[in-house]
A and B are shown apart, each in its own frame.
Chain A
Amino acid sequence: MSATASGWVLAASFATAAVAPLLARWFGRNTGYALGMLYAAGGAILAAQAPAIVRGEPIVASMEWIPSLDVRLSISLDGLSLLFSLLILWIGAIVSVYSARYFSPGGSVGRHYGLMSLFAASMLGLVLSDNVIAMFVFWELTSITSFFLIGGNGKTGSKQAMRAFLVTGLGGLALLGGLLLMSVVAGSTSLREIFAGGSAIVDHAAAPAIMALIILGAFTKSAQMPFHFWLPGAMVAPTPVSTYLHSATMVKAGIYLLARMSPLFGGQRGWMIPIVLTGLITALAAAAAHTMAHALYKATLFMIVGVVDHQAGGRDIRELHGLGRMMPITATVAALAAMSMAGLPPFFGFVSKEESFGALLAAPGAGWIAPVAAALAVLASMLTFAYSARLIEGAFGGQPTRPLAEPPRGLLAPAAVTAVAGLVLTGALPRLISLLDRIAQDAVGTAGHVKFALWHGITPALGLSVITITGGLALYALRRRIDTGFDRVRLPASGTGSFDAVYDTIVAAGRAAGRPFISRAAAIHASWVLGAVIVAAGGAWLAYRTAQPPPVAATPGEDWLIVALIAVAAGAAIRARSRIAAVALIGATGFLIAVLYVLLGAPDLALTQLLVETLTVTLVVMVFRRLPRRFEPVRGARRLRAAGIAIVTGTLAGAAAYAFAGRRPLSDVAGYYLEAAEPVTGGSNVVNTILVDFRALDTLGEITVLAVAALGVYALVRLAKGGGA
């Protein structure tokens, strides 16, 4: 295993995403088993790096990407990255195996597997990136792929997916701003170098803005208050998608980001408040352990919901009763996960929760932080306990109303694996401690000296655990009264409601802004475009009218001849009553302009002008076959308005052409192109070398716009013709 192993795992995961749809064509839903094996193996390769990482040798590999912007694909595998990578790969493996039995045989699953594996690869890239720009690109990739994953479920799905995407997308923009500010201040885009700079950033005036933007990105992604509202809606996705996105990956991306940035900002008050609120207080070792426990029990419960949905045909807890008697194994698996979630010993959830309590009580910083953080954690844990109990009692308790069977083994086994892992991990604690300690060191910069254990003796943390369980039991016992109490509460605003209101306002504003331009009359569209030309050209003239004009070279006589011919053709086009005649005359002006280009020594331009003119005239003639032969007469005011616009535009454009064409010395840039074209690009046609070499990126942008616009027009025309798909 060399330093590049993690790089290869990342590359392989993207390759997997590329071939997954093909695999799905051959193997159908069983593709999940192949993906599961690949992810398990990838995770094992990374896990094999653990000893080196524990010794404190982060594994770094780097490749130039856009050197001029200091963007490189550098990969850094330290304890924190390793933890999240293993969650992504191993939970990914389990979810893939689950998918293999979740979808019905023979269904179309290429899209699902392709997107899931692309999402997994992007997540992996996100947690492995050392370069902030690369990290942001992967961050956005996860937003985009999750949009398609959530929206895959029909009409309601697309609305929910849009909400999730807009919220996380806005957060992504904030994150980009924060990361860019940070790299500008630090003078580097490498996280390792930025962290090495340390206090220079924290003391900089922009530090509060950087922190706020990064926190905004993390909170939207993790669906933290007040951005929580997109999360429930996103559950319209198929269960494997929800399982993966919300237990191990998407939501954890925000947590990863906060943990990643903590060595830099830890101790800043502005940073600590959200960290305390999310329970991500400095003892990152506890948070890391809890991340693991959370991923395991949440994944189990999501998969169990899918199982129940599959067997009982619904997942509304009010309509499910007594599943425990009909499906004892399912109920047992669910109970194992729920107990870990509730924080009962000897589950891993208990260990991680107790460790968190201990860490929160010992939280450094201002005096208020520790008690407030611990109290919040206890309150949250009580609620978690209560809903864990409610979930199990509601779905599995009581008398069955109709016969139901246990699910197929292939569907239940993955959930059982994660549930049992929640127990086994407690036993494996001694082996994990050194790694967790390293994670703490990566995230805080100092060793955590954590002592994870089931039994610490009588400690304050144990006291908090007892309070949590007692409080949770009380909440559960009083659930009916609490329910009716909550039913009476009417919040003045809901997240979804406010979001939709803002969304509708923006759409309405857009519609209002576009209204002046919506017309079936070509004249309206033309007058806006020509009006813009008048403003631009007139503005330029006003700005530069006092500038010293360059020496005016004499215009050769043959130029004037062409100009005169153009004027004649244009005048005749104005007078023409027949549409075809007008088009032909306008075409004639175009051809004459091509001649002018030849005289000016621009053969490429002349050729293009000639061809465009030919095609335009032909195509316009074809369209005009459907219109009346003659123009309809235009009345006075409109005629005057059109004439006014035409005359002003024409005069300004003509003046500009006269002023610029061949009446100034060669610019420096032009001189450079003429000189460098041949040696640099191997081509002697400067026009072409500008298009495909010097400014190839511009051309790429232009052809992308052209292709996308054309595809859009095709789709609209098809739609208008009622051709459907």
Chain B
Amino acid sequence: MSTVILRTTARLVTPGIVGASLYLLLRGHNAPGGGFIGALVAGAAIVLRYLVGGPVAVRRMLPVSAESLLGVGLLIALMTGIGSLIAGSEFLTSTIWSARIPGIGKVKVASSLAFDIGVYLIVLGVIVGVVGFLGEDDQVMQ
């Protein structure tokens, strides 16, 4: 499957897919998207990389193990909850900050974004893990 056409296309579209994934993650609070959907899009990029260059290519694109993605994601989600405890509200209560950034305008960020990033990392970790098993033993697909 690793034809020149596929290789070239993959190289061209991967940055776009990753960008779209992050965009979906960030805007999720106000428009279709969010951590789960964003991670699935990033997963598509991972699968594409895998089709082109096997597990080696995946590792070159994302040099982190599935386990650490899962662990860090869970930790971030948990810390978001504990953060709101420390701030004096109940577990996982969201806080909203808004600031006016010159040139961009008013930007609103909720602490639930951090929670969503945790979700994103965990879903990504599952996909990276699954893709990893598919071809631990066979090298680049010809």
Residues of A within 8 A of B (CB): 64-68, 603-604, 607-608, 611-612, 614-615, 618-619, 622-623, 625, 681-685, 687-689, 691-693, 696-697, 699-700, 703-704, 706-707, 710-711, 713-714, 717, 721
Given A682-B96, A685-B28, list of 15 further CB < 8 A pairs? A607-B32, A611-B43, A611-B44, A619-B130, A622-B50, A688-B29, A692-B119, A696-B112, A699-B77, A700-B81, A703-B73, A707-B125, A710-B66, A713-B129, A714-B133
**B32 CB, nearest partner CB in chain A, Å:** 4
- Inter-chain CA distance A693–B116, complex, in Å, is 10
Interface centre among B36, B108, B118 (most CB of A within 10 A): B36
Please tell me if the beta carbons of B28 and A65 are within 8 angstroms of each other in the complex. no
Residues of B within 8 A of A (CB): 28-37, 40-41, 43-44, 47, 50-51, 66-67, 70-71, 73-74, 77-78, 81, 85, 88, 90-92, 94, 96, 108, 110, 112-113, 115-116, 118-119, 122-123, 125-127, 129-131, 133-137, 141
Q: Which residues of A contact B92 (CB under 8 A)?
A: 696-697, 700
A-B contact pairs, 21 of them (CB 8 A): A611-B37, A612-B40, A615-B40, A615-B43, A619-B47, A619-B130, A683-B110, A684-B30, A685-B31, A685-B33, A692-B29, A692-B94, A692-B113, A692-B116, A696-B112, A700-B81, A703-B77, A706-B123, A707-B73, A707-B74, A714-B66
Closest to B136 in A: A721
Please tell me if the beta carbons of A699 and B29 are within 8 angstroms of each other in the complex. no
Q: Which residues of A contact B125 (CB under 8 A)?
A: 707, 710
Please tell me if the beta carbons of B33 and A688 are within 8 angstroms of each other in the complex. yes
* With known contacts A704-B74, A707-B74, A711-B67, A682–B32 Cβ distance under 8 A: no
- Inter-chain CA distance A706–B88, complex, in Å, is 29
Please tell me if the beta carbons of B85 and A683 are within 8 angstroms of each other in the complex. no
Partner among B30, B50, B112, B127 whose Cβ is within 8 Å of the Cβ of A693: B112
**A701 CB, nearest partner CB in chain B, Å:** 10
Q: Which residues of B contact A693 (CB under 8 A)?
A: 94, 110, 112
Please tell me if the beta carbons of B34 and A692 are within 8 angstroms of each other in the complex. yes
Please tell me if the beta carbons of B119 and A703 are within 8 angstroms of each other in the complex. yes
* With known contacts A615-B40, A688-B29, A688-B34, A710–B129 Cβ distance under 8 A: yes
Please tell me if the beta carbons of B133 and A717 are within 8 angstroms of each other in the complex. yes
Q: Which residues of A contact B47 (CB under 8 A)?
A: 615, 618-619
Closest to B84 in A: A696
**Interface pairs A-B: 4 shortest CB-CB:** A683-B29, A611-B40, A682-B96, A692-B112
- Inter-chain CA distance A690–B44, complex, in Å, is 25
Please tell me if the beta carbons of A706 and B112 are within 8 angstroms of each other in the complex. no
**A601 CB, nearest partner CB in chain B, Å:** 11
Q: Which residues of B contact A615 (CB under 8 A)?
A: 40, 43-44, 47, 127
Please tell me if the beta carbons of A685 and B32 are within 8 angstroms of each other in the complex. yes
Q: Which residues of A contact B123 (CB under 8 A)?
A: 703, 706
- Inter-chain CA distance A67–B28, complex, in Å, is 30
Closest to A678 in B: B30
**A274 CB, nearest partner CB in chain B, Å:** 38
**B49 CB, nearest partner CB in chain A, Å:** 12
Q: Which residues of A contact B36 (CB under 8 A)?
A: 608, 691
**A625 CB, nearest partner CB in chain B, Å:** 8
* With known contacts A688-B28, A688-B29, A65–B40 Cβ distance under 8 A: no
Please tell me if the beta carbons of A608 and B40 are within 8 angstroms of each other in the complex. yes
- Inter-chain CA distance A282–B62, complex, in Å, is 66
**A37 CB, nearest partner CB in chain B, Å:** 29
Q: Which residues of B contact A608 (CB under 8 A)?
A: 36-37, 40
- Inter-chain CA distance A681–B85, complex, in Å, is 17
Closest to B81 in A: A700
**B67 CB, nearest partner CB in chain A, Å:** 6
Q: Which residues of B contact A684 (CB under 8 A)?
A: 29-31
Please tell me if the beta carbons of B110 and A707 are within 8 angstroms of each other in the complex. no
Partner among A619, A691, A696, A721 whose Cβ is within 8 Å of the Cβ of B131: A619
- Inter-chain CA distance A287–B52, complex, in Å, is 74
Partner among B33, B73, B122 whose Cβ is within 8 Å of the Cβ of A607: B33
**A705 CB, nearest partner CB in chain B, Å:** 10
- Inter-chain CA distance A614–B116, complex, in Å, is 22
Interface centre among A68, A683, A704 (most CB of B within 10 A): A683
Please tell me if the beta carbons of A700 and B40 are within 8 angstroms of each other in the complex. no
Please tell me if the beta carbons of B32 and A696 are within 8 angstroms of each other in the complex. no
Q: Which residues of B contact A623 (CB under 8 A)?
A: 134
**A707 CB, nearest partner CB in chain B, Å:** 4
Closest to B128 in A: A710
- Inter-chain CA distance A67–B88, complex, in Å, is 11
Please tell me if the beta carbons of B108 and A682 are within 8 angstroms of each other in the complex. yes
Please tell me if the beta carbons of B29 and A696 are within 8 angstroms of each other in the complex. no
- Inter-chain CA distance A604–B37, complex, in Å, is 8
Please tell me if the beta carbons of B29 and A689 are within 8 angstroms of each other in the complex. yes
- Inter-chain CA distance A65–B131, complex, in Å, is 41
Please tell me if the beta carbons of B90 and A68 are within 8 angstroms of each other in the complex. yes
* With known contacts A604-B32, A714-B67, A66–B90 Cβ distance under 8 A: yes
Please tell me if the beta carbons of B81 and A681 are within 8 angstroms of each other in the complex. no
* With known contacts A619-B130, A681-B94, A710-B70, A696–B81 Cβ distance under 8 A: yes
- Inter-chain CA distance A688–B35, complex, in Å, is 9
Q: Which residues of B contact A721 (CB under 8 A)?
A: 136-137
Closest to B115 in A: A692
Please tell me if the beta carbons of B29 and A681 are within 8 angstroms of each other in the complex. yes
**B130 CB, nearest partner CB in chain A, Å:** 6
Q: Which residues of A contact B137 (CB under 8 A)?
A: 721
Please tell me if the beta carbons of A703 and B134 are within 8 angstroms of each other in the complex. no
- Inter-chain CA distance A66–B84, complex, in Å, is 12
Closest to A623 in B: B134
Partner among B90, B110, B134 whose Cβ is within 8 Å of the Cβ of A619: B134
Partner among A64, A67, A603, A614 whose Cβ is within 8 Å of the Cβ of B32: A603
- Inter-chain CA distance A696–B91, complex, in Å, is 9
Q: Which residues of A contact B134 (CB under 8 A)?
A: 619, 622-623
Please tell me if the beta carbons of B74 and A703 are within 8 angstroms of each other in the complex. yes
Please tell me if the beta carbons of A682 and B34 are within 8 angstroms of each other in the complex. no
- Inter-chain CA distance A697–B35, complex, in Å, is 15
Closest to B42 in A: A611
Closest to B70 in A: A707
**B28 CB, nearest partner CB in chain A, Å:** 5
Closest to A703 in B: B122
Interface centre among B73, B77, B96 (most CB of A within 10 A): B77
Please tell me if the beta carbons of A683 and B30 are within 8 angstroms of each other in the complex. yes
- Inter-chain CA distance A711–B72, complex, in Å, is 13
Partner among A611, A697, A699, A714 whose Cβ is within 8 Å of the Cβ of B91: A697
**A608 CB, nearest partner CB in chain B, Å:** 6
